[in-house]
Amino acid sequence: MSRPRSPFRRRVLRRRTAVVLIAPALAVSMAACGGSSTTGATGGKQRTVVIAVPADVTSLDPGLASGSKNSLTLVREFYSSLTQFDRTGKLVGDLATSWRQDGPDAWTFTLRPGAKFQDGEALDASTVAWNFERAKKDAKLTAAQRIVSAVTEVKVVSPTEITFTTGKQTYLNFPGLVSGWLFLPEKWTAAHNPNTEVDASGPYRLTSFKPNGSVGLTANTVYYGTKPALKSVRYQVFSDQSSLISGLLGGSIDVVPGLDPSQLEQIRATGKYTVGGVPGLRIHYLSINTSKKPWDDVRVREAATIAIDRATITKTVLKGYTVPANRQLFSPTYNGYQKDLTPWPYDPQKAEQLLKDAGAVGTKVQISLAAYQYAGSQRTSEVIADELNAVGFDAKVEVLPIAQWSDKKATDATAAALTYNGEASPSNSSAEVLTHYESSVIFPTSNLRGPQDKTLDDDIVKAWTASTLDERATYVKAATDRITSTFRAIDLWQQPQTFAAAKDLSYTPRADDLDLAYEIGWAK
């Protein structure tokens, strides 16, 4: 039986959605970007390396860090955590040199001796305990609230040893959970504003900060780890895609992660950049709002799911830099991933019949997405809309600024029928990903919208609190099977971790969304 012919291949390729690339003569000047003659892709190894970030940076306080493409990246450059994930997604030590589980509900971390902040204040177990108390007293410090909710007691054993008690729950992924929790110095914080100032313990110190504009960094001479190869760095905010591309073509930017895959070959053609990409840990999917009719009908949800030609989209629109998801909302590297599952079939004939059977032909569908939030999302959403229309939907794409998009998807009443999302776990845990789909409002901007199955809630809680990996995998599978069988979310593909980097740099994309200057070197 021949494979169904996608309307994308029939129509979308012929019309060729335009990609706006500004000629080098119109490129953003280095002065306009806040640069100088020693910045950008042509300034030599002594230059300030410019890294583009796609969203505004409003605070440098690690307790307030949100948005892994901007604030989380920057606080990771300045501050330390107990653990961290390397570029492949492997958990490694940072301030902690080792950790162990002391019984079912306690974790003990051994810390590096002699670690300190740039002003000389000690970074030890007491500092870690103070940061826990700070987050416990202030719910606005959202970055640490998962730790606060998990931990019942913190005990400083010695300056280099600290124990966390998690009560009746094991929290198997606790060492990964703390990877996103970074530490301020207690005495310094009492006299300074951590929103705009930095007392670094990490690879870099702060040299300048323009909220919503740029952040300047220089290597931290008292950093306990490997010293970064790049001595001077500037993160530059580009919320407008045309100015970002202009800066690239003009040579005033060194590194841009998360580019639309369709742009990479044109950037390569400048001769100034290496371009590429790999499948990332984040899964792109469409969240369905079942509070809106007829999306409460499983036939309509299934029709939308199998109307999408994932194989063709990943090969053409996304240029082969990623692969379709396998009916799961988390990466193949996560515990509980089912390797035997395959991507949803592309079956427009069945989709069309399901829609007719449900009496839902002509259903208006709004696909809501954030501008420049996920690589390739606008072009892929347009193709998805065409494919939905080909089976009987009336679909349109809505592109919003990220803040407006986030607010819109937060409630049943305001969320679109379909919202383009990307899902990953800061602790690389399948159970943590699934907690976003509980009916309780833990993550209101990513929870599934509409009535929820209580059984799904039970499986998710049991997965999160399991005492062994095998037990967790059992409940993760149960929750995944329930989401799959009821078509509660439409998984699409792994996020393409695309990039362009100046040719004199050695750059390897991370599996997650962090774009860390200290992992970049000079090409040999």
Closest CA to 61 of 160, 206, 179, 177: 206
pLDDT of residue 24: 33
pLDDT of residue 483: 86
Q: Judge residue 482's burial from the number of C-beta atoms within 10 Å of its C-beta, 0-12 exposed, 13-18 middle, 19 or more buried.
A: middle
Residue the block writes with tokens 């999306």: 295
pLDDT band (50, 70, 90) for residue 402: confident
- What is the distance between the alpha carbons of residues 277 and 263, in angstroms, rounded to a whole number? 12
Residue 285 lies in a domain: yes
Q: Token pair of 421, please?
A: 């999302």
- What is the distance between the alpha carbons of residues 445 and 63, in angstroms, rounded to a whole number? 19
In this structure, the answer to whether residues 288 and 424 fall within a common structural domain is yes
- What is the distance between the alpha carbons of residues 235 and 390, in angstroms, rounded to a whole number? 43
Residue 483 lies in a domain: yes
In this structure, the answer to whether residues 384 and 334 fall within a common structural domain is yes
The percentage of residues in the chain with a pLDDT greater than 70, rounded to a whole number, is 88
Mean pLDDT of 491-513: 93
In this structure, the answer to whether residues 233 and 362 fall within a common structural domain is no
Residue at which a domain ends, from 176, 191, 206:
191
In this structure, the answer to whether residues 322 and 393 fall within a common structural domain is yes
Q: Tell which wins on pLDDT, 237 or 99.
A: 99
pLDDT of residue 446: 57
Residue at which a domain ends, from 139, 169, 191:
191
Amino acid at 217: L
Range of the domain at 208: 45-57+194-277+497-522
Residue 388 lies in a domain: yes
In this structure, the answer to whether residues 339 and 265 fall within a common structural domain is no
Mean pLDDT of 477-495: 91
Three-class secondary structure of residue 275 per DSSP? strand
In this structure, the answer to whether residues 260 and 300 fall within a common structural domain is no
In this structure, the answer to whether residues 472 and 338 fall within a common structural domain is yes
Average pLDDT taken over every residue of the chain: 86
Rounded to 5°, the CA angle 76-231-502 comes to 90
In this structure, the answer to whether residues 339 and 231 fall within a common structural domain is no
The residue count for the chain = 524
Mean pLDDT of 341-364: 97
pLDDT of residue 399: 94
Question: Is the model's pLDDT at 240 over the cut of 80?
Answer: no
Q: Token pair of 100, please?
A: 């162990």
Asked if 298 contacts 354 with a C-beta cutoff of 8 angstroms, the reply is no
Asked if 84 contacts 202 with a C-beta cutoff of 8 angstroms, the reply is no
pLDDT band (50, 70, 90) for residue 34: very low
Three-class secondary structure of residue 177 per DSSP? helix
Question: Is the model's pLDDT at 182 over the cut of 90?
Answer: yes
Asked if 428 contacts 336 with a C-beta cutoff of 8 angstroms, the reply is no
Lowest mean pLDDT among 271-285, 320-334, 350-364, 458-472: 458-472
Number of domains in the chain: 3
Residue 26 lies in a domain: no
Query: Which CATH number fits the domain that encloses residue 491?
Result: 3.10.105.10
Spell out where 23-124 has E strands. 49-53, 83-85, 91-93, 96-101, 106-111
Query: Which CATH number fits the domain that encloses residue 82?
Result: 3.40.190.10
Q: Tell which wins on pLDDT, 443 or 63.
A: 63
In this structure, the answer to whether residues 201 and 187 fall within a common structural domain is no
Stated pTM of the model: 0.83
Pairing state between β 273-288 and 418-423: antiparallel
Rounded to 5°, the CA angle 306-373-296 comes to 35
Q: Token pair of 507, please?
A: 């750059």
pLDDT of residue 31: 32
Residue at which a domain ends, from 158, 191, 224:
191
Residue 1 lies in a domain: no
For every residue of 366-419, DSSP letters joined together read EEEEETTSSTTHHHHHHHHHHHHHHTT-EEEEEEE-HHHHHHHTTSTTTS-SEE
In this structure, the answer to whether residues 90 and 200 fall within a common structural domain is no
In this structure, the answer to whether residues 266 and 288 fall within a common structural domain is no
Q: State whether the Cα torsion 336-341-346-349 is positive or negative.
A: negative
Residues with Cβ within 8 Å of residue 304, at least 6 apart in sequence: 286, 288, 351, 365, 388, 393, 418, 487, 490
pLDDT of residue 30: 32
Residue 50 lies in a domain: yes
Residue 36 lies in a domain: no
Q: State whether the Cα torsion 470-430-485-316 is positive or negative.
A: negative
Amino acid at 404: Q
In this structure, the answer to whether residues 134 and 172 fall within a common structural domain is yes
Asked if 373 contacts 405 with a C-beta cutoff of 8 angstroms, the reply is yes
**What angle, rounded to 10 degrees, do the helices at 298-306 and 348-357 form?**
160
Residues with Cβ within 8 Å of residue 191, at least 6 apart in sequence: none
Amino acid at 422: G
Q: Token pair of 477, please?
A: 């599978």
Mean pLDDT of 189-205: 97
Residue 23 lies in a domain: no
pLDDT of residue 6: 61
Residues with Cβ within 8 Å of residue 226, at least 6 apart in sequence: 518
- Partnered with residue 154 across adjacent β-strands are 164
pLDDT band (50, 70, 90) for residue 72: confident
Residue-wise pLDDT tens digits, 414-465: 999 999 999 888 788 888 888 777 776 555 555 567 666 777 888 888 888 8
